[in-house]
Each structure stands twice: as structure tokens, then as C-alpha cells.
Amino acid sequence: MPYIGHAPTNAGQFVLLDDIETAGSPGGTFNGILDTFNMKVSSVSVSPSADNLLIMLSGIVQETPGSYTVSGSTIVFDDAPETGMTFYGILMGQSASVGAGTITTAEMAANSVDSDQYVDGSIDNAHLADMAANTVKVRDANSSGVPSDKAVADTQLLIGDGTGFTAAALSGDVTMANSGAVTIAQDAVDIGMISATGTASSSTFLRGDNAWVAVTDTNTQYPTAVATKTDNYTVTTDDLGKSLRMNNGSSDYTFTLPSVGAGEDGGRITFTKLGSGTVTIDAADSDIISNSGAGDTIYAGRLGETFANVTLEYVHSTTQWIIVGAHGTWVSTD
């Protein structure tokens, strides 16, 4: 009939009891009187269980408890061994038969389980050691080793410096709330912190295309400069946005308007007469001034009127200079 049950194990240790002795009889001499002996292995007393012993006297196996009993390191024979009998004893390691769910930590040596015994991904967070509140697990060193729990307080960030980690909050010109919103302090951004083309100076400004550009006069509607003339004058497009005065006394003089196009649409010029003479404004090409004829004029020369002014604006769609404001008497020709 085949063997039924757990497979035999080679676990356990088998040790020869190489010495028994009793008081007054070193070496365990049998004399038919002494029945109590001390069991030793390599001169050291041992205290086995009776069931873990194989004891033979002169080759005859002795059974417990019928032939002997054990108490600590002492074996007591029911009948004192006779003179001349030989002793043979084996301390047998306990055989092992492992059933499912029967191994406890008591049967496991310290540090006997490592990562090789775990299925990858099988240890969840619930089976890790608890961490202190508001901490993260990091290796806070510049070498491999055991991780530690790093505390991170409100609004702090974890910053690596090559030797570990520092938990710190943004400070100085920039701060951050625990919602992630970053705030730049007032007056914290200076010109050196701005990335832009061109050169920042007292004569430049930062334009919307991120370029430092010089301030230029592009105003052609409202006078930004005044020029006084004392003779006939041909106006240029550079005069758009200016106020031109004719200090003519009693003489008659003419302002001749420039040739203009779409680029000058909306441009304005103010003309002023200072004197009793006549000031005429002559249109270029076939342009119209107010309700004058094409290429004709308007003038101010009413008797006794020593001051008059008029502001003209060019409307390209009708090739016409319109009067947007006037003082005194201006007359158109056709």
C-alpha cells in the first residue's frame, strides 16, 4: 500500500547524546544501582522532550514513559541499568508537517521574508505603516536607502537640492496660496525682469508687441505744434496736425495745400490769419475745400477783420477738405 499523508521532511537536527553522568559517577557508569543521569552534548547539558529521544541500552530500544522519563536535562530509568550495559542516545529534531494556514510568526525567523516572497503590486496602502499627517514619503538623502516621511506644511512646496528635500513656501516678491494661485507683490517687477526687444529708456515705451519703441508724433487731428509764416507757404504732409499762422499785416498771402491720399485720411491742419490782408487756402490737384470747386480755394479777407482761423480735415473718400471749426469769415470759390 502506498504512503498516504504529508511527504516526509528532512527538517530538524539529529544530535548524538555523547555523554551522560550522575553525581559520584562521571561518565555515566552503569552499576545496577544508579537510575538517574544528566544528558549532555559536547559537555553541555540539554533539555529535550522525551518524545524527541531515541534511547537504547545494549542495543535494545527503550520506550517512554514505560522505560524512562525525562525532566529537564535529567533522564530517569524505571530500572537501573545493569553493569556492563552500553548506552546509545539520539536527540531528534522535531519533524515538520505544514498545513495550510498553520504557519505563524512564531515559526518564522526574523528578517526571513523579503521582496522575493511578495507578488508585485500585492501590498496596498492599508498594509504600509501609518504616516504622520501632512507628510509625504521620500528618500531624503543623496544616496539609496530607507525612505522617510517628510512633513509639508500649508502652502509649502517640496524642493530638491541634490542632497535631499526642503519643504518651503514661496516668499519675497512672489507668494502662493494653498489653492495654487500665485501673487506677485506690488512694485516687484522692474524693467530688468521684462523680456522685450529694443532698449528701455526715458524716450521709449513698451508697446503691445513686447517691444521698446521711441515715442513719435502720429497725431494728425489736433495741433501739437505752431508755425508762423510771413509769406506764401506750400503746406506738406509733415504739417498735418499743426497750427499754421500767417502774420500778414496788410498783405495778401496764400497757403497751398499738399497732394494727399488714403494715408492722410483724417489728417487735420489749423490755419490762422493775423492781419488785415487776405489769406487764401488753395487746394491741390482737384481736391475740394468745403463747397469750393475742384482745385479751388477758400479765403478770409473781410474788410476790418484782422483775425480769422479755420481747421480743415481731409476726407479721402470724397477727396475733400471739410471745415470742422472756424472763426471769422471764410469764403469759397468755384
CA distance 150 to 321: 78
Q: What is the pLDDT of residue 143?
A: 92
CA distance 108 to 110: 6
Question: Measuring CA to CA, which residue among 152, 154, 150 is closest to residue 178?
Answer: 154
DSSP-derived 3-state class of residue 253: strand
* Region for 52 from its dihedrals, namely left if φ exceeds 0, alpha if ψ lies in -120 to 50, beta otherwise: alpha
Domains and CATH numbers, the chain: 14-92 (no CATH), 225-332 (2.60.120)
Q: What is the pLDDT of residue 27?
A: 55
Question: Measuring CA to CA, which residue among 282, 328, 325, 272 is closest to residue 302?
Answer: 328
* 117 contacts: CB under 8 Å, gap ≥ 6: none
Quickly list H helices, 121-254: none
Count, residues in the chain = 334
User: Which residue has 474788410 as its cell numbers?
Assistant: 303
Q: What is the pLDDT of residue 313?
A: 94
Q: What is the pLDDT of residue 2?
A: 56
DSSP-derived 3-state class of residue 52: helix
Which segments of the chain have a pLDDT < 50?
Answer: 9
Q: What is the pLDDT of residue 329?
A: 92
Q: What is the pLDDT of residue 258?
A: 94
